[in-house]
A and B are shown apart, each in its own frame.
Chain A
Amino acid sequence: MSFTDADLIARVLSREDQHAFGELVRRYQSPVRAFLARLARGDAHLADDLAQETFVKAWRKLQTYRGSAKFSTWLFGIAYNEFRTVARQRKELALEDVEEPAAEPAKSAADSRSDLRLDLTEALEELHSNERAAIVLCCQNGLTHEEAAQVLDCPVGTVKTNVLRGKEKLRRRLPDYQHL
C-alpha cells in the first residue's frame, strides 16, 4: 500500500512517526540533492550537508506546512534558503557573477552523449545562480513559473526572465545539442 505525501505528513505530525518521515526523505532526496548540487556547482559534499539540513529543518517545521503548495515545492524552498544562507556566509554570492566565457568552437556531431552530459553540467555551472536555479526547477524538475517564484522568493516575471536568459546562454554554449 502506497501512502500519499499528505498521509505521511499527517502520521509525522500526529505520531512523530520517523518511518513516515523517512519515506518522505526517500521520495525527495534525489531531486533535492541534485538541485543543491547544481546550485553548489557540483560540490556533492556541500550539497549533501545542505540537503541533510533541509530535511532536518523540514522535520522541525512540518507543522507550518499548510498544504497549499506541493510538498516538493516547500522542500525546494527550504533547500534554496539553506543554500543562500551558506553562500552568504562563505561570501560566494560575490563570485556568482562570473564572466561569460567566449563561445567554444562547435564540436563534431560524433561527440558522445557522456561528453554532452559533461558539457551541460559545465554550461549550467557557468550560469548566474538565479538563472541556474530557475532552469533546474522549471526545466529539470517540472515546476511551474509560479511554483519556482515561490521557491526562489521572487516575482514570476523574474523567474521567466531567468529561464529565458539561462536557456539562451545554454544554447550558445551547447551548439551541438540540436543534432542529438
Chain B
Amino acid sequence: MNQPEENDSLDVLLREQNPHIDDDGFTGRVLAALPRRHRAWLRPIFLLVVTAVGSALAIRWLPWENLSVPDLSALLSLNSQVLLPWLLVLSVTATLTWAIMAAAQWED
C-alpha cells in the first residue's frame, strides 16, 4: 500500500493540480449514446434453445435404421452407408457440446 508522502512537495503539487473537469453536457452525451442493454442470460439461453431445436430436427431425420455398430473392416472400407449415419450423430453431439460450453462461458 502506497501512501502519498505528506511532506513531499511534489506529491502535494500533483494532488493540488489534479484538474476537475466540469460535466458540461458530457453525461448527457454518454446517456444518448448508450445502446440497449441485453440481459446477460438472454443470449446464452437463445444459443442453447436454437442449438437444441436444430439438434432435435437433426435427430428426427437421422437414418436410425442404418445405425449399427460397425466392425473394423467396414470402417476401413470407408463405406458411406456405414459411416454417414455415425458422422451425423457425431456432428449433432459435437454441436450440442459446443453450445453448452459456449453458453456456460458466455461473457458479453
Contact = CB atoms under 8 A, between A and B. Distances in A.
Interface of A: 16, 18, 21-22, 25-26, 29-31, 33-34, 37, 48, 51-52, 55-56, 59-64, 116-117, 120, 135, 138-142, 144-146, 160, 163, 167, 170-171, 174, 177-178, 180
Contacts, number: 94
A140 B18 contact: yes
Interface of B: 1-2, 4, 9-11, 13-15, 17-23, 26-27, 29-31, 33-35, 37, 40, 107-108
Given A139-B11, A177-B9, A177-B13, A52 B1 contact: no
A21 B31 contact: yes
A45 to B, nearest CB: 12
Nearest to A171: B10
Contacts of A61: 108
B interface majority secondary structure: loop
B31 A18 contact: yes
Given A48-B26, A60-B108, A140 B1 contact: no
